[in-house]
Structure 1
Amino acid sequence: MKLDDEGQQLQRELAAYIEKYTGKDGTHSTYIPDLHFIRASKETEPIHSIHEPALCVVAQGTKLMMLAKESYLYDSSSYLVVSMHLPVSGQVVEATSERPYLCLRLDFDKQQIFDLIKQCDKTPKKPTHSQRALFVSKMNRSLLDAIVRLVRLLDTPEDIPVIAPLITQEILYRILQEEQGQSIKQFAMSGSHAERIAKVVQLIERDFNQPLPIDMLAAAVNISPSSLHHHFKEITAMSPLQYQKQVRLQEARRLLLSETIGAADAGFQVGYESPSQFNREYARMFGMPPVRDIKRLRDSLGLVTN
């Protein structure tokens, strides 16, 4: 469902601001610390990353986000929220030089949500079940209006320190009031399964190159292995082992791209004992073996191969 005329005018204004403060393709920081702009003048290949908690709003173009085997398509009629660190791949699927893909990302953290929940609900209830930590929802004019007011502050940077936190709080408040807001709230609830899963994710990201048996992870957050597996998959769409594997392979790819290191050494550094297993799982995730993949990446990025 399209926004009304006023909403469409806000979308055009948002696109104009992103063009004004980017000018070229890539991800751009702004004077507002948690606000970033992304521009792409052509469709892209899937880009793998560990996505931080954030709101993503497309002003122009279309993007496809993949979480495990699930796909999430969003454009200017919708917005995407990631409420916990998640290994994803993102691909711009609609963009041209005349109408580039224009997007903003507003990062947020657990403390902001916790403080907001305390103000809105004096006795918040623990969620009865875990929800996926990523969702796409329809854009509404009230949320879009707050987003555009935040972006307008870039024209008056002296106002940012005082007013930006207030508008950011309003934006988060409006998302929390939506039907899928529980996907964010659950991580700020002390003792909830989501809070425990977030702690397990921190352990995996810290010690990804070490063996991490599910019994050990479950004991660390005081739940049963079966409960951990169930809630972890509800929230992340993957098992703890699959999550660890994605973190390992993304780190290996980063090492191969940024350092003069061989595939076998990269595999060992991220925790693989078998080079053949590393090559096989790398190719399954990125579409080709490490050496070919890195050469293709270097060529596409214009990097010199030693």
Structure 2
Amino acid sequence: MFRQEIKQLIESRISDEGMVETGVKGVHLFKVTTAIPCAPAVYEPTVVVIVSGKKEAIIEGHHYVYDSSQYLCCTMSMPVEAGTPEASPEEPLLGVYISLDTKVMTELAIEMESSATVIKHPKNSAQGLSLANWDDNFSDALLRLLQLGDNPRDSAILGASRLREFYYAVLKGEAGISARRAFGVGNEIARSIEYLSKRLSENVTIDQLASQVSMSRAVFHRKFKQATMMSPIQFMKSMRLNQAAMKIAAGNNVSEAAMAVGYVSSSQFSREFKRMYGQSPKQWSQSKGLLENIT
């Protein structure tokens, strides 16, 4: 019942393709009617909920295909390939994109960890991306959040509390294990990724990242790969190249995109870009045009 109400709310508020604001900061509705092949993107901390159609994300060869039966929870900045390969005017992709406020999520996660009833997280659980089934708490919190509609007064007075309620439902649900690891005590890898994400144009070293979270290089490397499925070096390269690919797709020239993510040598950038995507930056920009992914 919750899902049908949520779908009806979304359908009533978005008619054209694209993304629209809801009046609550960080909460957007989206509609896609065009099949978009998977292309480089960067997921920020977010929850993506689908109510119609399917969406796909790929990271290190792992495919995350999700629809109205599961939502995606991304707890840290992650370089992915994302697309909507099955969207069409007859079968549009409809959903909700909810940014996760790291400050509020951290407060909630720490409060939960201080509770005697909190579930301990397994040692080997991944952190970056996870798919989770809807439960009653999640569905109810999402519906209450969207019911605020476009009423400025309701959104201003109740928006923050309804969003906090939604975050809590995520932390309690199937995605809660990865979310509590990323935002609660022991969130060193998430913090190191946040540090790196703000400095993609700089020459950040592994030792520098490890020292930021008071770990040895070896321990940092092991925990980083456990959380992201990539080594720190692979992750940095993927983040830089994905950001550059997105800039090129948005209309930036190749040199500007390369410099923006810290490449001094255009030839090195072109070599690494072609190695990752199978095309030179110029070939890729021509084949993708001005593609804008809804991620």
TM-score category (smaller protein) = 0.7 to 0.9
Alpha-carbon distance in structure 2 between the residues aligned to 1:157 and 1:299: 34
Identify the match of residue 38 of structure 1 among 26, 30, 35: 30
Is 71-80 or 264-273 further displaced after alignment?
264-273
| 8 A contact 1:110–1:187 mirrored in 2 | no
Structure 2 counterpart of 1:140, from 103, 111, 135: 135
Q: Is the 8 A contact 2:113 2:184 kept in 1?
A: no
Question: TM-score normalized by structure 1?
Answer: 0.83
The question of whether the paired residues in 2 share the 8 Å contact of 1:64 and 1:73 is answered with: yes
Q: Determine if contact 2:127/2:181 at 8 Å carries over to the other structure.
A: no
Q: What is the TM-score with the length of structure 2 in the denominator?
A: 0.86
Distance in 1 between the 2:104 and 2:156 partners? 16
Match of 2:165 in 1: 170
Separation in 1 of the partners of 2:158 and 2:198? 35
Between 210-219 and 49-58, the greater mean CA deviation after superposition: 210-219
For residue 72 of structure 1, report the CA deviation from its aligned partner: 0.8
Q: Distance in 2 between matches of 1:199 and 1:120?
A: 19
Deviates more, 1:87-96 or 1:113-122: 113-122
Cα distance change, pair 23–286 in 1 and its aligned pair in 2 (3 A) = farther
Q: 1:283 aligns with which of 253, 260, 274?
A: 274
Shift of 1:208: 2.2
Shift of 1:163: 2.1
SS in 1 for 2:51: strand
Alpha-carbon offset, residue 216 of structure 1: 2.7
Structure 1 equivalent of residue 245 of structure 2: 253
Q: Work out the CA distance in 2 between the residues paired with 1:107 and 1:279.
A: 32
**3-state DSSP of counterpart to 1:251:** helix
Q: Which runs of 5+ in 1 are unaligned?
A: 1-5, 302-306
Q: Which stretch of structure 1 is more off in the superposition, 52-61 or 166-175?
A: 166-175
Seen in structure 2, the aligned counterparts of structure 1 residues 213 and 290 have a Cα distance that, compared at 3 Å, is same
Cα 1:252/1:221, change in 2 over 3 Å: same
- 4+ residue segments displaced more than 6 Å: none
For 2:23 and 2:164, the matched residues in 1 are separated by 17
Q: How does 1:1-306 map to 2 (within 5 A)?
A: 6=1, 10-123=2-115, 129=123, 131-190=126-185, 192=186, 195-258=187-250, 261=253, 263=254, 266-298=257-289
> Deviation at 1:45?
1.6
User: In structure 2, do the counterparts of structure 1 residues 100 and 254 end up closer, same or farther at CA, with 3 Å as the change threshold?
Assistant: closer
Q: For residue 216 of structure 2, what is the amino acid of its counterpart?
A: S
Partner Cα separation in structure 1 for residue 151 and residue 201 of structure 2? 46
Distance 2:91 2:255 in 1: 42
**Cα distance in 2 between the residues matched to 1:99 and 1:298:** 24
- Measured in 2, the distance between the counterparts of 1:291 and 1:107 equals 32
**Counterpart amino acid of 1:157?**
P
Letter in 2 for 1:17: L
Q: Which amino acid aligns with 2:276?
A: M
Letter in structure 1 aligned against 2:273: Y
Match for 2:37: what amino acid?
Answer: E
* TM-aligned CA deviation for residue 241 of structure 1: 1.1
Secondary structure class of the residue paired with 1:36: strand
1:138 to 1:46, Cα distance in 2 relative to 1, 3 A? same
- Tell me how far apart the structure 1 counterparts of residues 59 and 261 of structure 2 sit (CA, whole Å): 21
Per-residue CA deviation, residues 55-83 of structure 1 (Å, 9 max, x unaligned), is: 11101001111122211111001111011
- The number of residue pairs the alignment matches comes to 289
Aligned partners of 1:289 and 1:67: how far apart in 2?
Answer: 21
Quick check: 1:282–1:289 contact (8 Å CA) kept in 2?
yes
Aligned to 1:242, the other structure's residue is in SS state helix
Distance 1:294 1:20, change over 3 A: same
CA distance in 2 between partners of 1:265 and 1:94 (Å): 33
- Percentage identity across paired residues of the two chains: 27
